[in-house]
Amino acid sequence: MSADITVDRLSYRYPDGTAALHDVSLTIDKGEIVAVLGPSGAGKSTLFRCLAGIDSPTAGTIRLDGTNLASLRGKARRKTLSRIGLVFQEFHLVGQASVLSNVLIGRLANANPATSLLHWMSRSDREAAVTLIAKVGLAPQLRKRADALSGGQRQRVALARALAQEPTVLLADEPVANLDPVLAAAVVDDIVRMVSEQGLTAMLNLHDVTLARRVAKRIVGMQAGRVLFDLPTDQVTDVLLSQLYGGDTGPSARPSNTPGTTLPTLIEALEVTL
């Protein structure tokens, strides 16, 4: 099951007053796969953090299936945000834990709080995690420690963990910026395949124009915190891309050195004992 996202005149300022987003408006329909392009500093990652509920917009609204995220509190907010799966540039895995343990972390949103605090997960949770691990091609690494995996394998674990929470929306924020082009294409293909199989709505923040054109139905171009264009992929011309990147129409732009978003402390610290 997928969900639609409506962003209306969204703005965001950092605590020091620097504006990162200016009146951003978007509508992502159920089941769409949308790529977001733009140079470093365009506000793409800030937009994704706002969509995920990590940062609170300075102005404007975000609606998930018509529900205004800003109107939610407590359990209702946590339940709604659990419908949004996240994959980041930084993998945010528990290095000493196994692949299975890391993926099981994604089940915590739906697990019994009492038993999950004791690091015990149900048989159905384990079966769901194992199935996802197999689908991303990591069945042989099921018991291997996350810090023993390659970069591409770690990102696939992160993808399986995000999908384990049974989201309706998947946000992938620069998911392959640390990978070589061939491996990056393979990982993005896996993301799109899994999203399509599960009928999810997806937004991918990418730096590779060629890759975005291949996998997305729509491309949103962002520049200096604003939406420069929002078009079907076949209408995104080289001229538009030149304007977006200031004349550089190469296949990719170098990512910034801004640290990745930190996941909640529980995800950083918890290892599920199997």
For residue range 150-189, what is the model confidence (pLDDT) as tens digits?
Answer: 999 999 999 999 999 999 999 999 999 888 989 999 999 9
Over residues 93-108, mean pLDDT: 92
Domain boundaries, given as residue ranges, for the chain? 30-41+73-269
For 30-41+73-269, give the CATH class: alpha beta
What are 102-125's pLDDT values in tens digits?
999 998 876 655 454 445 688 899
Sorting pLDDT into bands at 50, 70 and 90, what band is 88? confident
Burial class (CB in 10 A: 0-12, 13-18, 19+), 241: buried
Q: Which residue has the tokens 């995220």?
A: 69
pLDDT of 224 above 70: yes
> In three state form, how does the secondary structure of 111-141 look?
CCHHHHHCCCCCHHHHHHHHHHHHHCCCHHH
For residue 257, name the pLDDT band (cuts at 50, 70, 90). Answer: very low
Burial of 168 (0-12, 13-18, 19+ CB in 10 A): buried
Q: Using CA atoms in the order 224, 230, 235, 236, what is the torsion angle rounded to 10 degrees? A: 20
